[in-house]
Amino acid sequence: VVAGAALVLATTAACSSSANGPGSTAQKKITLITGVKSDPFYITMTCAAQAEAKARGLAFTADGSAQWDVSVQRPLIDSVAAARPDGLMVSPVDTEALTPSLKQIQSSGTKIALVDTSVTDPSVGITRISSDNEKGGQVAADALAQQMGERGSVIVISVKPGISTTDARIKGFTEEMAKYPNIKVLPTLYDNDLPATAASQIQSTLAAHPDLGGVFAGNTNTGQGVATGLSQAGKQGQVKVAAFDAEPDEITALKNGTLQVLVAQDPAAIGTQAVDQLAAALAGKPVQASIGTTMVAITKDNLSDPQIAKYVYKA
Ligand code: T6T
């Protein structure tokens, strides 16, 4: 599936550091605050944004939350308020809790680009750039149903409620799965973005539901944890898995048959286009309020196709 914006060649610069430096007083300054900093999705986004900022002569600094937690990301956002950059790219870890801080930053004159995740309040941000996550959930459902022979029980494991992206994926997945009368969807479980939690959750689900036929893993760390849990239970390949993202560990699990379908995003395009939109705003030029970036469904069979393999996250 190639959804969203025009096909974008996902390239990520070798991200030597997470900053082009504070820049000279004359340079416009952009700061990026991501979700979990160690997450390959955000590393890929950061590297691309850094390269684009450098190409445009913009000063660039980046940081990310150590965990998927409002109390951990909030100090990073508050430090942006103090620094007052010209532009802020941010992936808020919650749709509501950080909105007051973001509104205060915006009212002080910083242009905000919401990248990947967003907030409910429509007044925040001059642009919102992400995958079509609801569509991605639908793609995962249809692919998983096919893998399961359109029967059996399936469970969704994701991060936590209140994240715009993963909430949309779950919505798309469960609504699409309702089209398969012989597939039963079990109650969703949340792992707080901790692979070890997802691994134990999948094992306890197997114990309670020996007929478990499929899993939808809502993001990178969940996909990693589900793969680990299934391998530990000796169920790899028997329980089919559709997972979001395509970072190296997920690719390894796809190749060894533990995961069957990866819905890959284009985090590099999100990063690049957010810099472009902020640069336009800072130059007083028109800005696109919403940009949908590409997703592709990767399987063992199409992974060798260069048009697909280019969406594998480099980090
Ligand atoms: O799936 C991505 C991102 O789109 C989502 O908002 C949070 O999880 C990831 O970062 C991957 O872990």
Region 93-99: mean pLDDT is 98
CB atoms within 10 A of CB 66: 12
Give residue ranges with CB within 6 A of ligand 1: 35, 39, 41-42, 116-117, 165-166, 219-221, 244-245, 265
CA-based nearest residue to 123, from 99, 92, 94: 99
Region 70-77: mean pLDDT is 97
**Segment 161-174, tens digit of pLDDT:** 999 999 999 999 99
Please answer whether residues 259 and 238 qualify as being in contact, where contact means their C-beta atoms are separated by less than 8 angstroms.
no
| Cα-to-centroid distance, 224 and ligand 1 (Å) | 12
pLDDT at 65: 96
pLDDT at 24: 67
In ligand 1, which atom is closest to the CA atom of 39? 12
CA distances from 207 to 197, 229, 235 (A): 15, 12, 12
Rounded-to-integer distance, Cα 313 and Cα 248, Å: 7
pTM above 0.90, yes or no: yes
pLDDT at 25: 64
In ligand 1, which atom is closest to the CA atom of 265? 4
Rounded-to-integer distance, Cα 280 and Cα 261, Å: 37
**Segment 219-257, tens digit of pLDDT:** 999 999 999 999 999 999 999 999 999 999 999 999 999
Rounded-to-integer distance, Cα 127 and Cα 119, Å: 12
Please answer whether residues 76 and 65 qualify as being in contact, where contact means their C-beta atoms are separated by less than 8 angstroms.
yes
pLDDT at 7: 29
SS3 of 193-246: the string is: CCHHHHHHHHHHHHHHCCCEEEEEECCHHHHHHHHHHHHHCCCECCEEEEEECC
Region 185-204: mean pLDDT is 97
pLDDT band of residue 2 (cuts 50, 70, 90) is very low
Region 41-53: mean pLDDT is 97
**DSSP states of 95-155:** SSTTHHHHHHHHHTT-EEEEESS--S-TTS-SEEEEE-HHHHHHHHHHHHHHHTTT-EEEE
pLDDT at 12: 34
Region 282-301: mean pLDDT is 97
pLDDT at 22: 60
Please answer whether residues 80 and 110 qualify as being in contact, where contact means their C-beta atoms are separated by less than 8 angstroms.
yes
Nearest residue CA, atom 12 of ligand 1? Answer: 220
pLDDT band of residue 11 (cuts 50, 70, 90) is very low
pLDDT at 314: 81
Region 46-67: mean pLDDT is 96
- Is residue 89 within a helix (H) or strand (E), and if so which, with residue range? strand 87-90
pLDDT at 19: 54
Nearest residue CA, atom 2 of ligand 1? Answer: 219
**160 SS3 class:** coil
**Which residue among 36, 42, 116 is best mutated to probe the pocket of ligand 1, counting the most ligand atoms within 8 A of its Cβ?**
116
In ligand 1, which atom is closest to the CA atom of 91? 6
- Contacting residues for 79 by C-beta, under 8 A, at least 6 apart: none
Mean pLDDT rounded to a whole number for the chain: 93
In ligand 1, which atom is closest to the CA atom of 221? 12
